[in-house]
Structure 1
């Protein structure tokens, strides 16, 4: 089954847009190559729009409406999709994460899920009053396989100092978690840094965000309180990547981060 055939338009407006784009093209008996010419892009980009790997930009939605006489149909769908929260956003995120070859993430509140130990993760979910703690922990640990598989994903993680110092669970849990951060930071595919006291404010301060790079397209993910928002829009993804670099410019180096983690670990009584 192709990725286009696996789309779920009943759960995601972006999936609906991808399905409808393909359907409208086929109704008009237009090839993907011909549509690419109309949209001023290459054929592979059209394929990625139709598979849902890349979100249709509003400028190209307007071209479709104009050329096909659809009176704002695609433009309105894109506008609604940008303002909506997909019911399956978590499943979409996990699918991109599984295919990622590079993950850039900033976390202001806690250790990122890809770096959490079992007992730390359990404490996080218990504090959050999850009713499915065992299942949630198992899922979180399973996601970490991308860092140890045959062709491991590269992880570039920046943790706010508060995320390192904030305790979840007892002293044993935190010793285990910080010791693991030191251990995994030695792996060639993991680059771990902690913010310094020179960190200045940045756009959308208050929530964490992640950029996933995959062979078929990139995804941006941001958290707002207890909710998450994903975007496949290249401009949104680029904006998050820039924010990551801005935070990185006023963060500790990898070596200084290890020293900070060792000092923090030694201070736990």
Structure 2
């Protein structure tokens, strides 16, 4: 089954846009290459719009509406999709994560899920009053397999100092978790850094976010308060990548980050 055939327009406006773009093109008997000329992009970009791997930008939505006489149809769909809550956002997130060859993430409050130990994850879910703690823990452990599979995903993670110092569970849980961070930081596909231990403000600070790169398209995820937002818009993803670099400029080196984690581990009584 192709990516386009697996789209769910009944759950996602972005999937509806992808399906409708393909349908409208086929109705007009226009090839993907011909549509690429109309949109001033290459054929592969059109294919990614139709597969849902990349979101249709509002500017190109306007071009479609003008060329096909659709009176704002695609432009309005795109605008609504940008504001809507995708009912399958978590499934979309996990699908991109499974296909990722590179994940960049910044976490201000917790150890990133891909690096959490089972006991730490259980403590986090219990503290947040999840009713499905064991199922959530099992899912999180399964997700971590992308780091140990053949041709493993590369993970570049920046953790705020608070995420290292904040205790979930008891002392044994935190010792186990910090020891694990030291171990995985030596893996060739994991690059782990901590923000400055001077507890000063730094550029790009805000909620946590993740950028995933896959062979067919990229995804950005950001947290705002208690809610999350995913985006396939290249402009949104680029903005998150810039934030990651800004935070990285104010962070410790990889070696200094290991030293800070080790120092914190030694201080746990």
Give the CA deviation at 1:209: 0.2
Identify unmatched segments of 5+ residues in structure 2.
none
CA distance in 1, matches of 2:151, 2:143: 15
CA distance in 2, matches of 1:256, 1:52: 41
Whether the aligned pair in 1 keeps the contact of 2:13 and 2:77 (CA below 8 Å) is yes
1:170 corresponds to: 170
Aligned residues between the structures: 268
2:114 corresponds to: 114
Give the CA deviation at 1:225: 2.2
2:62 corresponds to: 62
Whether the aligned pair in 1 keeps the contact of 2:203 and 2:250 (CA below 8 Å) is no
2:143 corresponds to: 143
CA distance in 2, matches of 1:229, 1:153: 22
CA distance in 2, matches of 1:236, 1:84: 16
2:78 corresponds to: 78
Whether the aligned pair in 2 keeps the contact of 1:107 and 1:159 (CA below 8 Å) is yes
Map 1:162-241 onto structure 2 (within 5 A). Answer: 162-196=162-196, 197=198, 200-203=201-204, 205-241=205-241
Give the CA deviation at 1:198: 6.8
2:38 corresponds to: 38
Change (3 A) 1:215 1:23: same
Change (3 A) 1:80 1:199: farther
Whether the aligned pair in 1 keeps the contact of 2:202 and 2:250 (CA below 8 Å) is no
Deviations 1:174-227 (A, max 9, x none): 000000000000001000000003754445x43100000110011100011221
2:254 corresponds to: 254
Deviations 1:212-266 (A, max 9, x none): 0110011100011221100101011000000000000010000000100110000
1:180 match: secondary structure: helix
Change (3 A) 1:121 1:25: same
Change (3 A) 1:148 1:33: same
Give the CA deviation at 1:109: 0.4
Whether the aligned pair in 1 keeps the contact of 2:161 and 2:199 (CA below 8 Å) is no
2:17 match: secondary structure: helix
Whether the aligned pair in 1 keeps the contact of 2:114 and 2:144 (CA below 8 Å) is yes
Deviations 1:104-137 (A, max 9, x none): 0000000000000000000000011111111000
CA distance in 2, matches of 1:198, 1:163: 12
Identify unmatched segments of 5+ residues in structure 1.
none
CA distance in 1, matches of 2:39, 2:119: 51
1:103 match: secondary structure: strand
1:74 match: secondary structure: helix
Moved segments of 4+, more than 6 Å = none
Q: CA RMSD in A?
A: 1.0
TM-score (normalised: structure 2): 0.98
